[in-house]
Amino acid sequence: MDAKSQTELPGVPPPPRVRRARWSTIAVGVSFLALLHFFVSPSVRSIYRLHGPPLDTSAPVCPQANPVAPEKNGALWNELIAFHATSEFITRAVGQLSAAVQIPTETFDEMDPVGEDERWVTRAPFIEHLAAAFPLLNASLELQRVNTYGLIYIWQGSDTSLKPLLLMSHYDVVPVAPSSADQWTHPAYSGYFDGENIWGRGSWDDKSGVISKLVTIEALLEKNFVPTRTVVLSFGFDEEAGGAHGARFLAPALLERFGPDSFAMIVDEGGGFVEQFGGIFALPGVAEKGAANVNIEIQTPGGHSSIPPEYTSIGMLAALIVHFENNAPVPSLEVDTPVFEMLQCFAVHAPDVPSVLKRAVLRARRSRTALKLAEAMLLEIPAVKAVVSTTQAVDVINGGVKSNALPEQAMAVVNHRIATQSSVNTTLTRDAGLFKEIAARFNLSVTAFGELLTPAAAAGASYGSLSLRAPETLEPSPISPSDTPPFHLFAGTIRATFHAARKDVKGGEKEIFIAPGVMPGNGDTRFYWDLSPHIYRYGHDNLIGIGEESGGIHSVDEHIHVGAFMEMITFFTTLILNADEAML
């Protein structure tokens, strides 16, 4: 495909040909799949070709929605696409994102409540910028501020019987480490536009999401569009620290205003699309993995280090961690999970998938042998293994206070990301069993998640204690179904946007396929589950042929290609117009 944007944007240089995948989508793992044929011996491939079970052709695998372009609003849609390509519009949109990036809205871990922690006040200039940059939107939409800095915009539709469309983003950013300030090509909060890329913290994650939605609505208002279906925007301000002060308050406000299961669909930041095995795949996140932080603490008697015991609390903790890491959860590929459905889409629609993998995946529903063969190949790839299974990572460790004093306490924190087919209870129960097993070696009593696992008498006679706590846990999210009208509309919108972006461009005959994705991390939608069963984590920000240079999320040199940013605007324009005339 020639590196051109959707309509040869005036003054915008041709974007690069291929971009890399965003960290937050399963596409990160898929980028390694091309190595699969190295992991399966020729003898295994040969045997499987001869003796594999027949393909299951009783039902179509990974059927694709037709592209959906606005019909009733078709003339307006075409007019807006042309408008988006003008130098006037591009300059204005880039300027609005650039100005937003120049306002540092950093979120730190463990911030005190709004009103008590002065670091929240950085949000006020950002809100003032939105009021000035989008005059029609602010005059036409109702704005509800929640917990001071959370923003809900309501664009009231003419038909109140239709469930609204909810679009989410967050405008906070991860901090820029002072030690890295001189490593940036352009200063971290410059919002510098070099003619190709907008640079700075938040230019991609996720101020581009906020500004692209607002730019979309401002342009629709300029064209005198009046929505039939209500459109709601919800912008959090602390997603980078878990949303405890933003989304945790925004979701109840929306629930009180609209009620449970009140939205036709919810769209938040998340996956995009990438090119693999000769096929192009969009991967909207239909689910998120769960999460749990397990705090491990060992208490033992103190004393002078000149007369040490055989093991100190730190040594015991080290042994526990080694045992824990040597007994990680055994991953398995399971049918009827989003990851399996995604792999089936690759097998059906990507022309260059290794034949042995293709056959194994397509036969896996009927053959356990085929399922295990596919599993053996795929789990050789660390990124795929991580998204399929419950993971564990020892991320924090502390202990001791002085070199000549025996440590009375040692602690560690294990972070789990819980597979969609598992649960918090399964994960914590497994942890408790592992630690109880080895704690007995050191005569430690064990209290796991509020329950004493050792007999009371033994606990009293023990040398020390082992305590496990999980102060914050999150179950895997509900899985949004992919066989419903909302998903078909969403998938069709992605395909229509992709086609429109490549109209009259050499290579435009390329097709895009939609596959369900899983988010390994957690965003603000964790608080929105009661509002709709149709939640899609997708930003249309991983663009084939546009924005190879985009990148740097949470790191030095974060930036986004102007073509990628403009296509995001086209996507949200298409989605709003499609949802406005659909029966959902």
**Residue of 206, 218, 239, 288 marked active site:** 239
What tokens does 33 get?
Answer: 């799949």
25 φψ region: left (φ > 0), alpha (ψ -120 to 50), beta (else): beta
The answer on whether 51 is annotated among ligand-binding residues is no
Query: Is 172 marked active-site?
Result: yes
User: Do residues 494 and 284 lie in contact, with contact meaning Cβ atoms separated by under 8 Å?
Assistant: yes
DSSP string, 70-133: -STTHHHHHHHHHHHTSHHHHHHHHHHHHHHHTS--B--TTPPPTTT-GGGGGHHHHHHHHHHH
> Cβ neighbours of residue 362 under 8 Å, at least 6 residues apart?
55, 56, 61, 344, 347, 348
The answer on whether 240 is annotated among ligand-binding residues is yes
User: Do residues 387 and 515 lie in contact, with contact meaning Cβ atoms separated by under 8 Å?
Assistant: no
Exposure string (b/e) for 86-125, b if CB count within 10 Å is 16 or more? eeebbeebbebbbbbbbbbbbbeeebeebeeeeebebbee
Burial class (CB in 10 A: 0-12, 13-18, 19+), 182: exposed
d(CA 580, CA 158): 10
Count of residues in the chain? 584
Query: Is 142 marked active-site?
Result: no
3-class DSSP assignment, residue 322: helix
> Tokens 């004493």 belong to which residue?
452
H or E segment and range at residue 199: strand 197-199
DSSP string, 243-296: STTTHHHHHHHHHHHH-TT--SEEEEEEE-EEEETTEEEE--EEEE-EEEEEEE
The answer on whether 472 is annotated among ligand-binding residues is no
Closest by alpha carbon to 410, among 277, 505, 295, 283?
295
User: Do residues 287 and 477 lie in contact, with contact meaning Cβ atoms separated by under 8 Å?
Assistant: yes
> Cβ neighbours of residue 468 under 8 Å, at least 6 residues apart?
294, 295, 296, 428, 431, 432, 435, 446, 447, 448, 449
Cα 264 to chain centroid distance, Å, stands at: 21
The answer on whether 117 is annotated among ligand-binding residues is no
3-class DSSP assignment, residue 458: helix
d(CA 61, CA 56): 9
> Tokens 């899609």 belong to which residue?
536
The answer on whether 567 is annotated among ligand-binding residues is no
> Which residues make up each annotated binding site for Zn(2+)?
170, 205, 240, 268, 554
> Annotated catalytic sites, by residue?
172, 239
Output the known binding site. 170, 205, 240, 268, 554
